[in-house]
Amino acid sequence: MACLLLLAVPAARAQVLDDSTKVLYGPKTTRVIYEAEVLRDSTGGTLLDTTLTRFPQSRYWVHDTTFQQDLGALGTASRPLLYQPNLQLGARFGRNVFDRYARDATAVPYYDSRSPYSFFRVIQSGSGEQVFELSYSRSLRKNFSIGFVYERIASNKILAARSSRDALVEHSNLLVFGRLQSENERYHLLFNFSNVRHRSIEQGGIWPITRLVKNPAGRDSIPTGETRPRDLFNYAQQRVYLTQAANTEARDELYFTQTYRLLGRGLTVYHTFDAKRQYNSYLDQSLVRLNTREVNYPRVLFYPRVIRNTTAILDRAEYQQVENTVGVLGRTEAVEYRLYGRLRNANLTSQSLTINQFSATPATTGLALVQGAPTRNIWQGFVGGTAAFNYRKIYAIEAAGEYKFFDEYWLRASVRTGPLSAEILRSSYAPTLTQQELVGNNYEWHHLPKSDSAFRNTSTTQLTGRLRLKLPDFGSFTQQRFEASASLVNIADLIFYNTQGVPEQASVARNLQIVHARHQVRLGRVGIDNEATYTQGGNVDGVRIPTLVSNSRIYYESYIFRKAMFSQVGAEMYYQSRLRAFDYSPSTQQFYQQDHFTIRNYPVVNVFFSADIRAVSIFLKASYVNQGILNDGYFTTPYYSGYPRRFTLGLKWNFFN
């Protein structure tokens, strides 16, 4: 990294100047274009985001910025913490625990710059968190640009670590992207190819140590050691269940969208091609047998059961999908529409180790992979679209939906007038392919469509009201914004992973009441940002949502060093209420229900300093500064503790030449 900085410094100039020192290229001459804009027949783009607000916040270091439940470390398996509706119909792999670290092909940024634009960012903490990203793009001619991004996300073990460099997660992503448009701007092409490799060491969580000693009277044995959750915050000194287990994931995706304007902006045809592959593998080469004399029902440490092999686990699954979408779109000042049809071809294959007969002295050689379940080949068709009407930015109505032949759909309708809006969402979707069938070393289930054990579609209805206000300003000294929403959610026939780690369908509907509010205020140079989500009904079978999740931030910003540096100094606090959080099964890569471990409510307080010097942004952050005040740590998942107190350094450098 030091070599990279030394090589970059001589050529690094924040902005390109001419002989009169007039700024030619910089943040204001570089625009970002997204596919969503092109599919609205707009290519104006938006300016680069050069603000400091998000840079120090860890949830913005990855690609999914929602609040998540993870295994306590960057890059580990995670799931959304708050309720999110599902709008993905048809075949879905159902292995999503590493989704937040992979880029969404539909959200890749494309750059329109008059000069080459590049940047790199580095984030490093004392506990081994690391994010590195290098991006470069340039215009080869006026209407054609191309670029690439290399990204690395890594973290070291915080539990049972032999050294401070004991690797836990290694993630790499190579992205190539480009944009082309015709001279008359009637034709547009956006394309990208991504190659993702993710490897996560699985530790199975903390293994509490309990031993018996004689009491002073010598009569009875007294349990001592780590008998309570609050005793389990020794981090590197803790014992864990798994020492030779790892999950490996590979994702490859080729994606492009092209549009051609037929009759101005009123009629444009478009085509989207999406071919992707996702491969998942779980390996554990060190199973510890607990009852060596039992032949018919052998048990091993940590895992609930053994179906095939008591020596090792090697479960693999590969999902491939190709989609073609063809449609028309258009817009005027008052009306906007898009209609499309989509054809999807997908297949899923899985493999597992051969059965070793459950013998008392199993053979350790001659193990081979066999296909666990028949390959599934799937063809599916969809139609969908959106239609919107706007009247002078005062009144708006929109309808959208998608239908999969012949049994799935989602429909959404919304209306807005002034600061108020209301929305209704209705959906019906099938279980994922993993929920339908899995054959592995520790689990096996079959809920295939049209079988006697098939699951019904999950149906949801959501009603939401929103309020967005820019509150009255008191001169330039005070500025305020407020937004709030309230939702009623009904979930019928929910499919979840029960306490045994296998999929189950709820017989009773789940009902959620969700209130979200955010208030932003600026008092001169002081900024305050408070956000909170309250959920009622989130502590039932199949649903585990904290009653309250909040994030508060306060900072002071000013220019220093004769206005050569713009800086922010402040603090932020994340708070989460008590929760019987889902546990995690590494061999199936699924979060499942548990009822024996309650994560207490906890706050995490961070303090930070961030600064912007022309095209260079930096931050210094001390995370979890309140450790030891009330408790010595906190849990994110049962028996997975979050990071202890640590320092983090971040640097981002933009180049416009």
* pLDDT band per the 50, 70, 90 thresholds, residue 30: confident
For tokens 């179906």, name the residue: 307
Q: Count other C-beta atoms under 10 Å from residue 544's C-beta.
A: 21
Say if residue 509 is in the same domain as residue 436. Answer: yes
Beta strands in 9-129 (DSSP E): 16-17, 23-25, 30-33, 46-47, 68-70, 78-80, 110-113, 117-125
Say if residue 353 is in the same domain as residue 467. Answer: yes
Which of these, 462, 508, 459, lies nearest to 486 by C-alpha position? 462
Which of these, 170, 131, 178, lies nearest to 250 by C-alpha position? 170
The pLDDT value given to residue 532: 98
The mean pLDDT value for 468-486 works out to 84
Question: Tokens at residue 130, please?
Answer: 């690391």
User: Looking at the predicted structure, is the pLDDT value of residue 355 above 70?
Assistant: yes
Decide which of 478 and 242 is more confident: 242
| Whether the Cβ atoms of residue 595 and residue 83 lie closer than 8 Å to each other | no
Q: How far is CA 199 from CA 135, 153, 249, 492, 642, in A?
A: 23, 10, 6, 36, 20
* pLDDT band per the 50, 70, 90 thresholds, residue 128: very high
> pLDDT exceeding 90 applies to what percent of the chain?
74
Say if residue 411 is in the same domain as residue 451. Answer: yes
The pLDDT value given to residue 214: 52
Mean pLDDT across the chain, nearest whole number? Answer: 90
For tokens 């350094």, name the residue: 649
**By CB neighbour count within 10 A (0-12 exposed, 13-18 middle, 19+ buried), where does 428 fall?**
buried
The residues pairing with 557 across neighbouring beta strands, listed in sequence order, are 568
* pLDDT band per the 50, 70, 90 thresholds, residue 16: very low
* pLDDT band per the 50, 70, 90 thresholds, residue 360: very low
Q: What is the DSSP string of 143-167?
A: TEEEEEEEEEEEEE-SSS-SSTT-E
The mean pLDDT value for 403-415 works out to 97
The pLDDT value given to residue 15: 45
> pLDDT exceeding 70 applies to what percent of the chain?
90
The pLDDT value given to residue 13: 37
The pLDDT value given to residue 1: 43
User: Looking at the predicted structure, is the pLDDT value of residue 19 above 60?
Assistant: no
The pLDDT value given to residue 293: 63
Q: How far is CA 309 from CA 301, 358, 361, in A?
A: 13, 7, 12
Say if residue 302 is in the same domain as residue 198. Answer: yes
Decide which of 28 and 70 is more confident: 70
The pLDDT value given to residue 47: 86
Say if residue 274 is in the same domain as residue 229. Answer: no
Say if residue 641 is in the same domain as residue 572. Answer: yes
Contacts 24+ apart (CB under 8 A), 527-530: 527/553, 527/554, 527/555, 527/556, 527/557, 527/570, 528/552, 528/553, 528/554, 529/553, 529/554
Say if residue 349 is in the same domain as residue 231. Answer: no
Number of domains in the chain: 2
> How many whole angstroms from its chain centre is CA 40?
26
φ, ψ (nearest 5 deg) of residue 480: -135, 145
Say if residue 598 is in the same domain as residue 579. Answer: yes
Decide which of 333 and 252 is more confident: 252
Say if residue 516 is in the same domain as residue 372. Answer: yes
* pLDDT band per the 50, 70, 90 thresholds, residue 470: confident
Q: Which of 74-83, 202-211, 356-365 has the highest mean pLDDT?
A: 74-83
The mean pLDDT value for 249-269 works out to 94
User: Looking at the predicted structure, is the pLDDT value of residue 39 above 60?
Assistant: yes
Q: Count other C-beta atoms under 10 Å from residue 561's C-beta.
A: 10
Residue where a domain stops, chosen among 218, 237, 256: 237
User: Looking at the predicted structure, is the pLDDT value of residue 22 above 80?
Assistant: no
CA atoms of 230 and 600, how far apart (whole Å): 10
Can you give the residue range of the structural domain that contains 560?
A: 2-205+240-655
Q: Could you write out the three-class secondary structure of 628-643?
A: CCCCCCCEEECCEECC
Say if residue 518 is in the same domain as residue 409. Answer: yes
Say if residue 153 is in the same domain as residue 219. Answer: no
User: Looking at the predicted structure, is the pLDDT value of residue 8 above 60?
Assistant: no
User: Looking at the predicted structure, is the pLDDT value of residue 487 above 60?
Assistant: yes
The mean pLDDT value for 366-382 works out to 89
Lowest mean pLDDT among 145-159, 218-232, 341-355, 496-510: 218-232
The pLDDT value given to residue 627: 96
- CATH number of the domain to which 641 belongs: 2.40.170.20
Decide which of 448 and 475 is more confident: 448
The mean pLDDT value for 10-18 works out to 42
pLDDT digits (tens, 9 = 90+) for 533-551: 999 999 999 999 999 999 9
pLDDT digits (tens, 9 = 90+) for 163-212: 878 999 999 999 999 999 998 889 999 999 999 999 999 999 999 876 54
User: Looking at the predicted structure, is the pLDDT value of residue 380 above 90?
Assistant: yes
φ, ψ (nearest 5 deg) of residue 434: -70, -40
Contacts of 89 (CB under 8 A, 6+ apart): 382, 402, 404, 408, 409, 410, 429, 430
For tokens 């005040």, name the residue: 629
Residue where a domain stops, chosen among 216, 237, 258: 237
Q: What is the DSSP string of 437-472?
A: EEE-SS-EEE--TTSTTPPPPEEEEEEEEEEEEEEE
| Whether the Cβ atoms of residue 387 and residue 418 lie closer than 8 Å to each other | no
Residue where a domain stops, chosen among 197, 222, 237: 237
Say if residue 317 is in the same domain as residue 191. Answer: yes
The pLDDT value given to residue 294: 62
